[in-house]
Structure 1
Amino acid sequence: MKTTLWRVRSFRDLWLAQTVSLLGTQITLLALPLVALLLLDASALDVGMLAAVEFLPVLLLGLPAGAWIERLPLRPVLVVTDLLRALALLAVPCAVWLDALSMPVLYAVAFAVGLGTLFFDVAQLSFLPALVDEDRLVDANGKLELSRSVAQLAGPSSGGLLVQAFTAPVAILVDAFSYLISAVFLLTVKGDRHAGGPEPSAGLRREISEGMRFVFSHPLLRPLILCAAIAELAFAAVLALQVVYAADILRLRADAIGVVLAIGNAGGLLGAVAAGPLAKRFGNGTAFLISIVLFGGGAVMLPLSAGPVTFTCGLFVVYVGVVIFNVLQVSLCQTVTPTRLLGRMNSVFRFVTWGMVPLGAALGGLLVAPIGLRGVFWIAAILTVVSLLPPLFSPVRTMRDEDIADAPEEIAEPDSALERATTGETP
């Protein structure tokens, strides 16, 4: 019988680091837009753009990030990015105390936090397979998603109470310290190594193209990345505007908004616990489809809500499905991807999926004026339902464990003029 992952110190320390930083991040998820709304009288468009700016680094650096990380020792990358995010967030209370707070300052902070999060996430996903065995990746990712769900449950309610009692800048200060604590835990993680990528002489453009070709030629990864991209585009608008919706449409106070978001996010706890058993009971393919149906159905409930109960239930169902999908998708990607391509595979997924977030958040903010908040939420719901189509009409639908084991790990050769031009190869 294998030792529980909680007794594997390196994994446990990584889990602790993530849990602490995510708790603080969830506080800021509520506090940062409230800083804009309460202290700067920001509009819905301003808040939407604030969410968009945080994901702008993904569009600018998402693809090369994986290749760069594969050349670096992973643990220092995690520590440095935690420190970067802590310093960025400390700028907000400092700006308030110096009477220098403005939307450009908040945009700069959001960009720096997004930059650190991009490199941290790609490095962490590439680091995990070095800490646990392949057959325990679903368990490990489930535990990491569980900590994310716990943070999403406790963070918004704590953030709402902190904002109500001590103001939003103080809540953001708490998040800054959480990143410092996370960095301390990461210093104790053993098993530090490079991601195992190619030699720098291979050329950055060729390395990026190799990673993209692997993901988009893979029969299992391609439909999943398309599904995730559509869902991220849709739900980015909801995440950017959920606080505004709760405040303006549902007429809730800051502390009540925190409770609503916390209870809704609690669905992630159920999703994290259910992902493994669901895959074992019905198979990976059916489990993927169930997860998509869940977050699509929850998204439809949101624009139908006229009060906090329905809105909370919709968020709850969304997060059950999202977390099941995330656990299965991340574990599948880590299993079928060669070690030397882990950084680039993760960066391609982050570039394509997180790259949809600033676009979705910005479009959501722009559409509020012509069609209203409820109209934006209806468009998001329809797109989320559409995200089911790529996996439904692909090998993912009938995927079993043996299909994952037999999935191709080699990279297809460039078969188009565009791919050959990108890699610099000649026919």
Structure 2
Amino acid sequence: METTRQQAIIVGVQLQNDTNFAYSMEELRNLAAACNITVIGELSQKASRINPSHYLGTGKIQELSMMVEDEDTLIIFNDELTPSQIRNLESSLDRQVIDRTILILNIFADRAKTKEAQLQVEVAQLQYMLPRLNGMRESLGRQGGGSGLKNRGAGETKLELDRRRIEERITALQAELQGQVERRQIQRRQRHKNEVPVVCLVGYTNAGKSSLLNAMVETYHPGSNKQVFAKNMLFATLETSVRSIRLPDHKTFLLTDTVGFVSQLPHHLVKAFRSTLEEVTEADLLIHVVDASDPQHEQHMTVTSDTLKALGADGIPTVYAYNKSDLTDRAYPAVEGGSITISARQSSGISELTGLIRSHVFNDYVQCEILVPFDRGSIVSYFNEHAHVQEVSYEEQGTRLRLECRAADYERFRGDFVELSH
């Protein structure tokens, strides 16, 4: 059975000094497409402020009303609408009205796969709905149509019932989420105990973070089937994926893929996803992935930086990875200071990026030459597994190793071997 795509008109108000308006309308179009909605028209208005009652001025409301011929056509507004704006617009236009926030929430609801992501999206949706129930009080009250208070009371009672149910559901979901958060904190503490560095991929939605994670996994663990879902669409990744990357010299770090950022991300979602994004605040290094082929990539970088600042992660060392360079005229792979030009799709620049990661997260290693007595063979096994052993020879007193190991491991075993050079 063929499903017909919903049609919509997108509407926005350009305020004075708003230089990103055209881009944000284009992004609204992309968000609609991600919800399987076809945009058939666009209406915009320049104004010094947004109309508090109807978002648009009276003339524009009439113009919009004439544009909407089909009663099934949806009207999508570029900003988050207040409860009264939604009510007034639906009354004036006699059409369903939604805003940018509910569009993003719908995409998240559709894409959430893990239990935690689903819980977080539901909390965000309910928090969005709660004040909008309040805005419906008047229209519910009007249903009485002047036939006494009885009907209106029934409407309000139903409203209170809905509100209480939503509040109870939010409380229950948040308790369940807390359990998920605590479980992840235990996992994080375990990682800290194991002293495994954490490297986080951050960036705008659809910059290629998941593709980069997959390229790293395939480079260092070919055929391991540990790839994550990656697709050229907004918000393909909604949950944090962590992969352990073990380099040929036995150094290991954890690579984390995170949900992408977007301009005007609904504050409900920032709050709901804060626990997911906490991974970012505890990282040893951030890889800020940028879609270099997107003409708006500088704007995307600003949005990402602002979001990281809001999370309290702006002080973490950051490497900028300009991805999708195969779609530009940039030379790649190329390293310049703390930036690198790569193509995750072609796995080009992976070794150079690994070199940058190494220089940031493996600076607590020591080069040494040691002699391990034969009755301490387990230490030799440990270093073979967890250090980069460059040379081995056998002498009368034991096994001689020239190696590079973590300073913590060196200190841990220093009473069990003879130090020849350090």
TM-score higher than 0.5 here? no
- Please classify the TM superposition score into its range, dividing by the shorter chain length: under 0.3
Higher strand share: 2
Normalization by structure 1: what TM-score? 0.23
| Larger gyration radius, structure 1 or structure 2 | 2
